[in-house]
């Protein structure tokens, strides 16, 4: 079963081909980082224009790399929610046109549900039920994945997404975007216990995340006498900028881990899946493996499938296709969908 998946939900134009719900044949991603770099964030209008310019080429590349001509496709899957409205519309319009022209089924996919199942490509034995942590630049949420059509959100961030927090702290530290990889790289030279940044604790028994308090703490630490940016290596304090990066990263990772392990315990599952751009973080991988209780398997996708990609949309599309799901050709985008 060959499914083409398209994702243009944010700032990467991507397409991929899957052979069923757990096998990736290709993944083509055209990143827009260079276009948005000067703005320190994604500019929606620039993003949608760039998607429109690149989508044909990216789809062609995905089909060629999978050695799959258009005639061999069984369906076209596309992200319809959530995301930037103008960006989503480009992928959805392209997918509709292709599905109509080739007489193929169209399958609208929820972007975050696709992140939640993307680890399946690298773990043949991963089956429902499992808990999924999806942490990216736009989302940080936990899902109980009880079946292909029974994916329930358990909790999410009250404010910033984890990746967004890494990106903003990178700006504060004068590091390049995307902030996750650059903060993480500098952190390898610092001490994670040098600065006691606050950890978030949800009220009562709520499963929730928060990152804005941590971001503000880093800001005030850098502004304040204890760690001025213009005196980053004060011997009297012995706190360096790499120390700040490492301490921030440890706090951010612990903020992700606590509610995640709570969700795993409550759901009583043996598998924990992590997805989204932040899943590429090495400290998160290391600490989660160390702190997960015995008997819980922690599954990460390969780094290329952590960030936004069309291949995960194709896998999720294949799964829904097998269950008989189809979207009408007038399916609309839903930019703010959360569940
Ligand atoms: O999933 P993704 O590609 O796009 C969104 O849907 O947002 O995630 C991108 C986010 C960025 O905020 C980036 O800084 C973060 O993932 N990220 C990381 C790492 N690699 C990417 N955060 C922490 N550590 C990393 N190694
Ligand atoms: Zn994403």
Looking only at the bridges linking them, the beta strands covering 12-19 and 24-31 are antiparallel
Q: What is the pLDDT of residues 295-304, one digit of tens each?
A: 999 999 999 9
Say how many Å lie between the CA of residue 54 and the centre of ligand 2: 19
CA angle 34, 256, 220 (to 5 degrees): 70
* Contact (Cβ atoms closer than 8 angstroms) between residue 180 and residue 167: yes
Asked if residue 230 has pLDDT above 50, the reply is no
* Contact (Cβ atoms closer than 8 angstroms) between residue 51 and residue 8: yes
**Residue 223's pLDDT band (boundaries 50, 70, 90)?**
confident
Q: Do domains 2-117+305-322 and 127-300 have the same CATH topology?
A: yes
Average pLDDT over residues 303-316: 96
Specify the length of the chain in residues.
339
Q: Is 10 in the pocket of ligand 1 (CB under 6 A)?
A: yes
Residue 12, pLDDT score: 93
Average pLDDT over residues 25-32: 95
Q: Considering only CA atoms, which residue is closest to atom 18 of ligand 1?
A: 180
Q: What is the pLDDT of residues 78-122, one digit of tens each?
A: 999 999 999 999 999 999 999 999 999 999 999 999 999 999 999
| Residues 127-300, CATH architecture | 2-Layer Sandwich (3.30)
Sheet strand arrangement including 140-147: 150-156, 140-147, 130-135, 271-275, 297-299
Q: Is 190 or 34 the better-scoring residue by pLDDT?
A: 190
Residue 292, pLDDT score: 96
Asked if residue 147 has pLDDT above 50, the reply is yes
User: Poorest-confidence range of 69-78, 82-91, 154-163, 228-237?
Assistant: 228-237
Say how many Å lie between the CA of residue 201 and the centre of ligand 1: 23
Domain 2-117+305-322 class, CATH top level: alpha beta
Residue 225, pLDDT score: 61
* Contact (Cβ atoms closer than 8 angstroms) between residue 268 and residue 170: no
Average pLDDT over residues 151-170: 96
Q: Which of 41, 175, 180, 255 is the best mutation target for the ligand 1 pocket, counting ligand atoms within 8 Å of the beta carbon and taking the most?
A: 180
Q: Is 279 in the pocket of ligand 1 (CB under 6 A)?
A: no
Q: Is 301 in the pocket of ligand 1 (CB under 6 A)?
A: no
Residue 40, pLDDT score: 74
For the chain, domain boundaries: 2-117+305-322, 127-300
Average pLDDT, the chain: 94
Residues 6 or more apart whose CB falls under 8 angstroms from that of 18 comprise 2, 3, 5, 24, 25, 311, 314, 315, 317, 318
Say how many Å lie between the CA of residue 195 and the centre of ligand 1: 23
């Amino acid at each position: 079963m060959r499914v083409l998946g398209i994702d243009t939900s944010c700032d990467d134009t991507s397409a991929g081909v899957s052979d069923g719900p757990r096998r990736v044949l290709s993944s083509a991603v055209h990143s827009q980082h260079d276009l948005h770099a000067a703005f320190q964030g994604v500019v929606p209008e620039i993003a949608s224009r760039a998607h429109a310019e690149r989508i044909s080429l990216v789809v062609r590349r995905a089909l060629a790399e999978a050695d799959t001509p258009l005639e061999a496709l069984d369906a076209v899957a596309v992200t319809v929610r959530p995301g930037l409205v103008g960006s989503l519309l480009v992928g959805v319009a392209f997918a509709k046109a292709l599905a109509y022209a080739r007489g193929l089924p169209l399958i609208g996919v929820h972007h975050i549900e696709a992140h939640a199942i993307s680890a399946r490509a690298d773990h043949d034995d991963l089956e429902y039920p499992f808990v999924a942590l999806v942490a990216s630049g736009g989302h940080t949420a936990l899902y109980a994945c009880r079946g292909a059509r029974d994916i329930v959100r358990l909790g999410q961030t009250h404010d910033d997404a984890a990746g967004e927090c890494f990106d903003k702290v990178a700006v504060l530290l004068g590091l390049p975007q995307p902030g996750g990889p650059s903060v993480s790289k500098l952190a390898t030279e610092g001490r994670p216990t040098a600065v006691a940044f606050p950890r978030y604790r949800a009220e009562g028994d709520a499963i929730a995340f928060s990152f804005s308090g941590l971001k503000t703490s880093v800001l005030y630490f850098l502004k304040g006498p204890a760690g001025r940016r213009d005196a980053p290596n004060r011997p009297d304090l012995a706190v360096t900028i790499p120390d700040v990066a490492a301490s921030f990263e440890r706090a951010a990772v612990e903020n992700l881990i606590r509610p995640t392990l709570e969700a795993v315990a409550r759901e009583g599952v043996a598998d924990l899946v992590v997805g989204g751009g932040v899943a590429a973080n090495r400290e998160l991988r290391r600490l989660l493996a160390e702190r997960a209780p015995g008997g819980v398997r922690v599954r990460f996708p390969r780094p290329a499938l952590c960030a936004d990609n069309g291949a995960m949309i194709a896998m999720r599309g294949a799964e829904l296709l097998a269950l008989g799901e189809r979207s009408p050709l007038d399916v609309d985008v839903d930019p703010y969908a959360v569940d």
